[in-house]
Structure 1
């Protein structure tokens, strides 16, 4: 569990600096230079991600069961993750109406992904991993929306074509992950026959 905790602290911590220490972030960018700061940020994020993946991999085999999720939670999780993929794809679109409506679709996608995995898994490792991401995403969403409102940030959304592209890309990526990559990389096939 310790490795998972270290990974979470590194990964979520580096992604929380903008939220909780924006002045320090600006100071560090001035000291290091913007590109060096971005490289440092990316390096810490990658190390954190790899550490939490390894930590979760080890922890899930020895973790205690807190509850045994009913089968229907897997079906709900599959639907929530599909919507998570759509929101995450919409975050990459320049003029998405989804982005204009939500403001931070990447964070909404992470919330849905974390919630889906939290309700369909019941070990202490699952609660730690997915619960941490869910709490972080909720806090991130609230703070980011407040910042957008205070700064008067608005997103242009000329038409639905970017939303259609986001949905198509999301469905294709979802199918690839759900039917192939999740089983290969995580060891759990969501739609095993």
Structure 2
């Protein structure tokens, strides 16, 4: 559990550096981007090792402490939310019509992803990991909205971009589900 918390701390710190200490981040210039990337990557590695454990590092998996037992139907809710999260992430890059309504589609995708995973994982490690990432995304949105007024609403995207975002979301979700199966997690329940 300690590695999960340390990973979350690195993730939060690296991402919030620009918001909490903008002068410090600005002084770093372009090398600061590299430092942020390294801190984020280190945070992800710590979270993954803390979550799954790693025998080759001599770290045992986190002891499972169940807080609640999710009902089976939530697997289907999770999968729908995950498809929406992948769509939001694609929509952000493609500037589809939903970006006219949702100011922060990537952060909304993270919040959706975290919530979906909280619904189907009732153990303490999952609550700390996914709850910590959900809380980060909420704080990030609040800080961005306070610091920067919303710019002009993007023009409606052509239908080709809408279709591309949906197709991209389905393809990426399929790939992620295959990876989950490979890792021994059955995302379809």
- TM-score of the two chains, using structure 2 as the length reference: 0.88
Structure 2 Cα separation of the partners of residues 47 and 140 of structure 1: 20
Residue 61 of structure 1: how far off its partner (Å): 4.4
After alignment, is 13-22 or 169-178 more displaced? 13-22
1:145-156 map, 5 Å: 145-149=145-149, 152-156=150-154
- CA deviations over 1:165-190 (Å, ceiling 9, x no partner): 11111111011212x111224x3121
Residues matched between the structures, number: 182
- CA deviations over 1:90-117 (Å, ceiling 9, x no partner): 1222x32222321211000000000000
Structure 2 Cα separation of the partners of residues 121 and 60 of structure 1: 16
Structure 2 Cα separation of the partners of residues 139 and 44 of structure 1: 19
1:127-166 map, 5 Å: 127-149=127-149, 152-160=150-158, 161-166=160-165
What SS is found at the alignment partner of 2:186? Answer: coil
What SS is found at the alignment partner of 2:18? Answer: helix
1:173 aligns to what?
172
- CA deviations over 1:69-126 (Å, ceiling 9, x no partner): 1111111111111100001111222x32222321211000000000000111111100
Structure 1 Cα separation of the partners of residues 139 and 124 of structure 2: 22
Contact 1:118 1:131 in 2 (8 A): yes
After alignment, is 136-145 or 119-128 more displaced? 136-145
1:44 aligns to what?
39
Higher share of residues assigned helix: 1
1:22 aligns with 2:22: yes
Unpaired runs of 5+ residues, structure 2, are 54-59
Which of these residues, 173, 185, 188, is aligned with residue 188 of structure 1? Answer: 185
Structure 2 Cα separation of the partners of residues 75 and 60 of structure 1: 27
What SS is found at the alignment partner of 1:69? Answer: coil
Contact 2:50 2:62 in 1 (8 A): no
- TM-score of the two chains, using structure 1 as the length reference: 0.86
Unpaired runs of 5+ residues, structure 1, are none
CA RMSD of superposed structures (Å): 1.8
